[in-house]
Amino acid sequence: MILLRLITWPYVRRHLARASLTTLGIVLGVAVFVAMYTANQAVLRGLEHTVDRVAGKTQLQVTAGDAGFPEDVLERVQAVPEVKVAVPVIEATLETGLTGQGNLLVLAVDMTGDRSLRDYDLESGDEAMIDDPLVFLAQPDSLMVTEEFAKRNGLHADSKIVLGTMLGDQTFTIRGIMKPTGLGSAFGGNLAIMDIYAAQQVFGRGRTFDRVDLALRDGVALDQGRAAIERALSPGFEVAPPSSRGQQFESIVQVYSISMNISSLFALFIGMFIIYNSFAIAVTQRRADIGILRALGAFRSQIRTLFLVEGGVAGLVGSAVGCVAGLGMGRALVGEVATMLEGVFGIVQQPAEITLTPGLLLFALVVGVATSVVAAYLPARQAARVDPVQALQKGRYQVLTAGQNRARRRVALVMALASAALLWLGRSSVPFYTGYVLAILAALLLTPTLALLLAEALRPVLRWLRPVEGTLAADSLIQAPRRTSGTVAALMLALAQVIALGGISLASYAGITDWVDTALNPDLFVTADPSLAVRTFRFPAAMGPELRSIEGIEAIQQVRSVRVPFRGGPVLVVSVEIGGLQERARREPVAGDAETMYRLAGEGKGVMVSENLADLRGLALGETIDLPTPGGLLHLPIVGIVKDWSDQLGTILIDRQVFIRQWHDDSVNIFRIYLKPGASEAAVKARIFDKFAGSRRLYVLTNREVRGYIMRLTDQWVGMTNAQLAVAVIVAILGIVNTLTVSILDRRRELGVLQAVGGLRGQIRRTIWMEAVAISVIGLALGLAFGAVNLHYILEITRRDVGGMNLAYMYPVSIALGIVPTMLAAAFVSALGPGESAVRGSLVEALEYE
C-alpha cells in the first residue's frame, strides 16, 4: 500500500489521461460484454417470467413442438389415472395496434376448468369482475386483460379493443380485469385471456390445441406422472415441466448467444492488449523509479506485486465503470435483440427489465480484473527483473534484445507448426480449438518481429514521402518496438476479426442470395403474419383452391412449418408439395442425386435435410431418422442433403401429405404463388385482397419484399456483430492514441532538441502523424494477413458449433479495402491530439526532461 501511494499514485496523477485511456480498454470490453449479456438475459428472463406466471400450478405440459395437436389428445391425457387436472391451452401473440403497446400475449384457456391450475387474481378479489362468466364464454369477443394494460390504454369493463385476427380486424370486449400480480404480470402485463374455442377461430387453429397443462394427483411423483402420460401418447409428444420451455428457447437462441458472447469476449481480449501495452510502457518509463526502489532494498516480488496490483486496480475501476456503461448500452440494445429474435426465430417476447445481478457483477469484475492482471503480468515480471544499476543509467530500454526476439520467434514457429498439425489432425473440438489458440498466440508472439520488419520496410517509403519527418517517425518505431507492439497486436486482432466476420457475412450473403434466387422464387407469398418466422396464425387448407381460382395465378404451393424436438434439440420441419418444389424451385443437393431425392421425398418415402442440420447432428445421406410426430414415429431415410437457410438450427423437408398424415393438420402457414406469364403482380395482389377482404387476416408479399425482409434480417444479424467490432476497433484506436502519447512523452527531450535546432512545429506534428499512420499500416498489414487465417477458423467454428453452415471461404476484399482508408484516417485523427501536445509543451521543460 505504501508503494502504491508513493510510487503509483503520483505516476497516475502525472499521466491521468493515459491512465484513463488504459482503463478505457477494459471499460469498453466489460461494457460490451455486460450490455450483450444483460440484453440477452432480459429477453430470456422475460420469457422465463412469462412461462412461470402463465404456468401457475402446472406441473407438466404436453406439447408436440409448436405444431399443436387435435383436441382428442386432451381427453387421452385427462384419462390417465395419475393426472388430477389437465386443461387445454392456446398461446399466441397479437399486435395490439395501440400506439406504443406492441404485442399482446393471448392465453386462451377453457375457463370452465382452467382455474384449477391458474389463479386469475381478478380485480376486487372477486371473479364478478368477469362481469358474467357465462357471458364471457358465450360471447367469443370476450377478453380479460391485466389492470396494467387496462390503465395504460384507458380500458375498463365493457371497453372495446380492435385486434387483428385470422378473420380480419375484430372488436373485442373487455369482460374482466386481472390484478397486475401473478398471472397478470406475465409478458410485462401485456396479457389477455380468452376462451380457447373462440381462440381456435381467431388464430385459425381448427380443432387443435397448442398444449395441455396439467397437475398430477397428490402423491404422484413428477417422473411417474410423466412416464404414465408418455405411455398414453405417441412418441411425437413431449411431456415436460414448464421450465423446459425456457430451456428450449435458450437452445433456439443459443446460436445467437454464442456469437454475441464470443464477440464480447473478443472486445475484452483486445482491451487486454491495450492494458499490456500501457503497462509495458509504464515499466519502461518508471525504470529509474524501479531501480531506486531496488537499490533501496525492495524485493523483486514487491516490484512485481506493485505492478500486478496496479493492473488489478485498473481492472477493477475499468470493470466497475464498464458495468454501469454496459447497463446503459444493454437498455438501448434490448429492444433490438428482441426484435431480431422475433424476426429470425419467430419468438415474440416482452423483455424483462435490464438488471445487473450480483453474479454478473462479480463475473464482470473478476473478468475485468483478471484480464487486467494477466495483461500486466509480463510487464510486472519485466519490472521485477530490472537491474538497479542499468535502470539508473540513461539510454534506450525499449529495444528487444536479439536473444528475446530469437526465443519468441522459435516459440511462435513451434506454435504455428503445432497449430497447422492440429488442424490437419482431426475434426474433434479439442485439437481444433487448441490449434486456434496456438495460431493466435503464434501471431501475437511474432507481432514484435513482424512489426519491426515492417517498420524497417516502411522507412524508405516514409523517407521518400517526407525525408525528415518520415525518417524520424520510422526510427521511432524501429527503436522502440515494444512501445508499439501491443497496439499493433490489438489492431491486428481487431482487424483479423473484422476480416473473419466480414468473410462470414460475404459467404452468408452469397449463400442466402443463391437460396433466395432458387428456393424462394415465387412471385407472391401469402402469409398470415408480416414476420415470416412467426407461426401464430394459420390458414385453413380450403383457402388453397380459393386462391388458385383467382385470375392470374398459375400455381400455388402450400407450406406448413413447425418446430419440433428432434434428438434432443429443436428442428424446423417444413412441409410442402415436393413435386411442385422440384418443378419450380429445384435445388441441387450437396449430397445425393436430385432426381432420386425429389422422387422419393415426393412419394413420402424419404426426407430431405438441410446441410446445417446434417452437420450439427452428424446426419448422413441414406441414414434413417425417427422423427417424433403426433401420429407416431416417422421412420424415413434421408434421401438428400440440401443447402437451406430457413432455420439456423436446421430444417427437415417433407412432403405435405406426409405432414398431414402424421400431424393430422392440414393448415397452412404460407402460400407460395406463381403467376401466369404476363399477369400483373399488383393486379393479382389486389384480387387476393378483394377476395379475402374483411374475412381473413393476410399479407401478400412480393418476391422483392420477401428478399428485402430476409436481407434485412441478415443485416440485423450481421449488424449486431459489426457493432461490437466497431467497439473492438475503437479499443484498438485508443491503443494508437495511448502509444503516441507515450511516444511523445518518451521523446520529449528529442522533440525539444529538434525544435531547439530549428525544427518547425509543422515538422513535429507531421512526424507524429506519420508515426501514427505507420502504426496503422503495420497493424493493417498484419491484421489483414492474420484475418485470412482467422477467417478459416471462424468459418469452421460456424460450421461445427454455431449454425452448422458450410460457408465458402471468401476473403472479403471489399471490406479489407474499405478498412484501409478508415483505419488510416482513424490513426490520423488519433494523432491530432498527441501531435498538438508535442508542439505545445515548454521547450525548456522538454530539454530538462530526465
Partner 1 sequence: MSELLIALMLIAGSGKGDGSYFRPSLPEIAPVPFSAADAREIVQTAQDRTEATSQHYEGTLKVIDARGRVSDKRWTYDRLGSHGRSKAVLRFTEPAEVKGVALLIVNHPDRSSDQWMWTPAIQRDRRIALQDRSTRFFGTDFSFEDLEERDIDQYRYRLLGEEPVDGAACWKIEATPTGRKVSQYTRSVIWVREDNYAYARVENYDGDQLVRRLNYQRIEQVQGIWTARVLEMHDVRRNSTTVLTLEKLQYNLPMHDEDFTLQALRRER
Which one of 52, 95, 119, 127 is in contact with partner 1 (CB under 8 A)?
127
Q: Specify the 3-state DSSP secondary structure of 120.
A: coil
Which one of 11, 52, 78, 800 is in contact with partner 1 (CB under 8 A)?
78
For the bound state, the minimum distance from the C-beta of residue 130 to partner 1, rounded and expressed in Å, comes to 7
For the bound state, the minimum distance from the C-beta of residue 667 to partner 1, rounded and expressed in Å, comes to 17
Task: Compute how many residues bind partner 1; rule: CB under 8 A.
Answer: 28
Q: Applying CB under 8 A, does 138 fall inside the site for partner 1?
A: yes
- Rounded Cα–Cα distance for residues 628 and 617 (Å): 16
Q: Which stretch binds partner 1 (CB under 8 A): 11-19, 110-118, 746-754, 792-800?
A: 110-118
- Rounded Cα–Cα distance for residues 611 and 643 (Å): 5
Of 220 and 725, which has the nearer Cβ to partner 1? 220
- Rounded Cα–Cα distance for residues 361 and 366 (Å): 8
Q: Applying CB under 8 A, does 115 fall inside the site for partner 1?
A: yes
Residue 79 phi, psi (nearest 5): -80, -10
Q: Applying CB under 8 A, does 417 fall inside the site for partner 1?
A: no
Q: Which stretch binds partner 1 (CB under 8 A): 123-131, 489-497, 545-553, 635-643?
A: 123-131
- Using an 8 Å Cβ cutoff, are 842 and 749 in contact? no
> What's the Cα-to-Cα distance from 230 to each of 6, 236, 239, 453, 661, rounded to whole Å?
72, 9, 7, 69, 21
- The closest of 213, 190, 159 to 94, measured between CA atoms, is 190
- Rounded Cα–Cα distance for residues 453 and 785 (Å): 15
Of 112 and 814, which has the nearer Cβ to partner 1? 112
Which one of 17, 101, 112, 243 is in contact with partner 1 (CB under 8 A)?
112
Q: Applying CB under 8 A, does 126 fall inside the site for partner 1?
A: yes
Q: Applying CB under 8 A, does 134 fall inside the site for partner 1?
A: yes
Q: Applying CB under 8 A, does 252 fall inside the site for partner 1?
A: no
Report the run of H or E that residue 756 belongs to, with start and end: helix 748-756
For the bound state, the minimum distance from the C-beta of residue 68 to partner 1, rounded and expressed in Å, comes to 17
Which one of 130, 519, 773, 784 is in contact with partner 1 (CB under 8 A)?
130
For the bound state, the minimum distance from the C-beta of residue 198 to partner 1, rounded and expressed in Å, comes to 6
DSSP H helices, 522-628, are 543-548, 578-584, 594-602, 611-617
> What's the Cα-to-Cα distance from 637 to each of 421, 565, 600, 609, 621, rounded to whole Å?
37, 18, 10, 10, 8
- The 3 state secondary structure assigned to 731-751 is HHHHHHHHHHHHHHHHCHHHH
CA dihedral 278, 400, 285, 396 (to 10 degrees): -150
Q: Applying CB under 8 A, does 135 fall inside the site for partner 1?
A: yes
For the bound state, the minimum distance from the C-beta of residue 173 to partner 1, rounded and expressed in Å, comes to 10
- Using an 8 Å Cβ cutoff, are 756 and 462 in contact? no
DSSP H helices, 15-129, are 16-55, 72-78
**Taking CB under 8 A as the rule, which mask of x and - marks residues 139-158 in contact with partner 1?**
xx------------------
Q: Applying CB under 8 A, does 159 fall inside the site for partner 1?
A: no
Q: Which stretch binds partner 1 (CB under 8 A): 133-141, 399-407, 440-448, 750-758?
A: 133-141
- Using an 8 Å Cβ cutoff, are 341 and 351 in contact? no
Q: Applying CB under 8 A, does 86 fall inside the site for partner 1?
A: yes
- Rounded Cα–Cα distance for residues 27 and 328 (Å): 13
**How remote is the C-alpha of 358 from its chain's centroid?**
23
Of 142 and 776, which has the nearer Cβ to partner 1? 142
Q: Which stretch binds partner 1 (CB under 8 A): 48-56, 71-79, 512-520, 699-707?
A: 71-79
Of 55 and 267, which has the nearer Cβ to partner 1? 55
Of 78 and 714, which has the nearer Cβ to partner 1? 78
Q: Applying CB under 8 A, does 128 fall inside the site for partner 1?
A: yes
Q: Applying CB under 8 A, does 777 fall inside the site for partner 1?
A: no
Q: Applying CB under 8 A, does 517 fall inside the site for partner 1?
A: no
Q: Applying CB under 8 A, does 562 fall inside the site for partner 1?
A: no
**What is the pairing mode between strands 624-629 and 569-576?**
unpaired
List the grid coordinates of 602: 415426393
- The closest of 843, 845, 838 to 757, measured between CA atoms, is 843
Q: Which residues bind partner 1 (CB under 8 A)?
A: 74-75, 78, 83-86, 110, 112-113, 115-116, 126-128, 130, 132-135, 137-140, 197-198, 200-201
